[in-house]
């Protein structure tokens, strides 16, 4: 009986220590995030755990690689719209690798904005990153373009281009850039649509689609960095 009580006390003390640690960690992580909703703060705190779980279970971790294939439709013939309403021509990106990511502000993966910004700042000489906010998965991006742009800048210091909110999943309203990324008649080989928010497509310096990374693969992972830095 005495042994059982001792074990119970140890378990309760361990639980208490974990709760205190989590509370302190949560406060530290979110103390300066005055521009986030309570839900967004919670998602930010749980992001490391989510990434661990996806890696452990192999969920949302597909990495599709393809050799250079000249696309039937030139990547550089495409254009899209920035969050401020101006036109963005992809022809301006010739000679750079381009990572295109569908994003959302209320997703478990939203903290990848920070990782994407780190990746961008480190490799921006040869890399462009473009965010495509979308409300396609569980309505996790309900804000308008101004709200989304402000959220990204204030909370994550995002400096890479953010496009106007659009549809990225396959439909008759699909953004033309994602239409190209997910249709072999455009890109030459890939039909994989985003599996969730923060799916990543990588186009090389010649305008050829060469990689697809699922949301569970961090922008700072070895797989992504090796793809970005490959000759």
Sheet holding 63-65, edge to edge: 63-65, 209-213, 200-203, 97-103, 127-133
Catalytic residue, from 155, 175, 187, 197: name it.
Answer: 155
Q: What CA–CA distances, in Å, run from 153 to 114, 130, 135?
A: 10, 14, 19
Give the three-state DSSP class for 60: coil
The answer to whether the CB of 61 falls within 8 A of the CB of 216 is yes
Tokens representing residue 73 in the block: 């439709």
Per-residue b/e over 177-209, b at no fewer than 16 CB within 10 Å? bbbbbbbeebbbebeebbbbbbbbbbbbeebbb
Tokens representing residue 58 in the block: 């192999």
Residue 155 is a catalytic residue:
yes
Helix ranges (DSSP H) in 35-144: 38-57, 112-123
Name the one residue in this structure whose structure tokens are 């059982």.
4
d(CA 58, CA 62): 8
Catalytic residues: 155
């Amino acid at each position: 009986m005495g042994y059982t009580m001792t074990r119970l006390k140890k378990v309760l003390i361990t639980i208490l220590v974990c709760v205190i640690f989590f509370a302190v960690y949560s406060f530290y992580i979110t103390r300066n995030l005055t521009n986030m909703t309570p839900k967004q703060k919670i998602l930010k705190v749980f992001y490391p755990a989510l990434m661990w779980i996806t890696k452990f279970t192999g969920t949302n971790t597909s990495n599709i690689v393809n050799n250079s294939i000249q696309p039937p439709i030139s990547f550089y013939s495409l254009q899209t719209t920035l969050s401020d309403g101006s036109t963005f021509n992809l022809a301006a990106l010739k000679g750079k690798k381009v990572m295109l990511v569908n994003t959302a502000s209320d997703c478990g993966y939203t903290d990848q904005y920070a990782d994407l910004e780190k990746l961008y700042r480190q490799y921006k000489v040869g890399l462009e990153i473009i965010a495509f906010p979308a409300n396609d998965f569980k309505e996790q991006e309900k804000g308008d373009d101004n709200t989304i742009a402000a959220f990204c800048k204030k909370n994550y210091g995002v400096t890479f281009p953010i496009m106007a909110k659009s549809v990225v999943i396959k439909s008759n309203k699909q953004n033309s850039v994602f239409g190209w990324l997910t249709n072999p008649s455009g890109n030459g080989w890939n039909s994989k649509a985003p599996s969730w928010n923060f799916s990543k497509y990588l186009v090389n310096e010649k305008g050829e689609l060469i990689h697809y990374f699922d949301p569970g693969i961090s922008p700072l992972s070895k797989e992504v960095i090796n793809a970005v830095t490959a000759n």
